[in-house]
Amino acid sequence: MWRLFIFASLYAAYVEGETHYVQTGKDIKIKCGDRSDVVEMVWKHDNTLIFSMNNKSGKRRKGTTGVAKRASSQGNDLRLDNVQSGDKGTYTCTTTDRSGKDTITNHQLEIVNVLVSVNPPSPLLLDSSARLECAVEGLPNPEINWNAAGTEKGTGTVSLAMVKPSDGGKWTCVAKAQGMSFEASLDVHVLGMSGAPDPVIVQQGSSAPLPCSLSTSMGSLHVVGGGWRRMPPASAGPHLPSLNGTTGLSWNSRGTDESKVQFPKGTLGTDLTITLLKVKADQAGQYECYMEFEGRGTLKAEVTLEVTGGGGSASGGDSAPQPGAPSTNPGKPTPPWLGNMWIWLGVGAGSLVLIMLLVAVVLISQSNKREKRRLRKLRSVRKPLTANDYCQCNRQPDGAGAMNRAARGGLQRPHVPDNIRINGGHGGGRPHV
């Protein structure tokens, strides 16, 4: 038998191939040789057929494994697409020349995995803590570095004690060994909450927007509480809405005075702004927008509200602006001198009304005094009464006396004094005395 082995060895050559390192998901080409007198070529993965080719007869065979399905030939070479973890192993290329001599070349394929993660998962809450980790499989003694925004951030594990907005973005872990380089990336999102950097200044009786927004979407974070509240010390005011996160983030209107507070209905995005309607002076102060996340912490943002007097009415007020179009721009507050001007205008108007009232009272008083003097003067020049002006209760008109006499017993001829003579009998002559 040993003679048969020696005889076979004379017609077969064994070539030690290379060790290839490839990252999952990538493509690779493994060379078999550059000989041009190859009659037949066979590729195997761990002694399992990938494919075979006979250049003389044109006959071709192909295996049924996953490797065989993703493999193709480029001349004498093997091309393998979308490398998977199970593709690791020994790849053997056997070629036969015209003389019948076989050449066997063995290649070793190692699969490299670069595993990156952030804990807790993104998005990260602003000012919270987090840890980025990078692990490499299949590559001996790698050098590992984290890069973000073109700057090295550390080696295999990077700890963030206080997450900042600048920590957001693309983080890349680079593993290097034996002149080879492999990398994997992940996107880190930082979730923050912002209110108004400057005080919101409105006039009494008008509408006051309280801005609040998230820097990015919440992703898979679960909200267990939140909403708007006044910061102490604070007097009584309208009940502000709370957040409901059970079926999509929305405002819970239960217990909220919707005649004094305006907020959008339906599912919320990143805008948590509400509007106070017909504000009063005692509503000025600090307001806080907050969100509580299950197992992650709380985000907060403060808004300062200042209410100036004049220019509005607590019973009337301006019409409420629609969400997204507030009546006051927090970035351009009302100048202090403009508020003082309204105060002085109010004082001046009140003084003018008071002066006009005093003038009217003086004029009315003078008119009354003149009327009284005129009446006294009229009384002083009136003609004195005579005896005929007084009451004549016992005197009766001629007609009334005649009627009385007739009632007592008939009409009697009036008595004519002797010294009076009437001409013409009963005629209408003038009497002579």
The pLDDT score that the predictor gives to residue 420 is 47
The pLDDT score that the predictor gives to residue 304 is 95
Q: Which CATH class is domain 193-337?
A: mainly beta
The structural domains of the chain, with segments of one domain joined by +, span 10-111, 120-191, 193-337
Strands 157-160 and 169-177: unpaired
Amino acid identity at 261: V
The pLDDT score that the predictor gives to residue 100 is 84
Q: In terms of residues, how long is the chain?
A: 433
Element (H, E) at 372: helix 336-380
What CATH number does domain 10-111 carry, 2.70.150.10, 2.60.40.10, 3.90.25.10, 3.30.70.141? 2.60.40.10
Please list the residues that pair with 125 across neighbouring strands: 191
Q: Tens digits of per-residue pLDDT, 376-396?
A: 877 776 666 556 655 555 555
Q: Which residues of the chain have pLDDT under 50?
A: 1-10, 311-333, 399-400, 402-404, 406-407, 409-412, 416, 420-433
10-111 and 193-337 agree in CATH topology: yes
Q: Which tokens go with 275?
A: 């509007």
Strands 274-276 and 169-177: unpaired
Q: Please state which CATH number belongs to domain 120-191.
A: 2.60.40.10
Q: What percent of the chain has pLDDT over 70?
A: 76
User: What b/e readout covers 14-45, taking b as 16+ CB neighbours within 10 angstroms?
Assistant: eeebeebbbbbeeebebebbeeeebebbbbbb
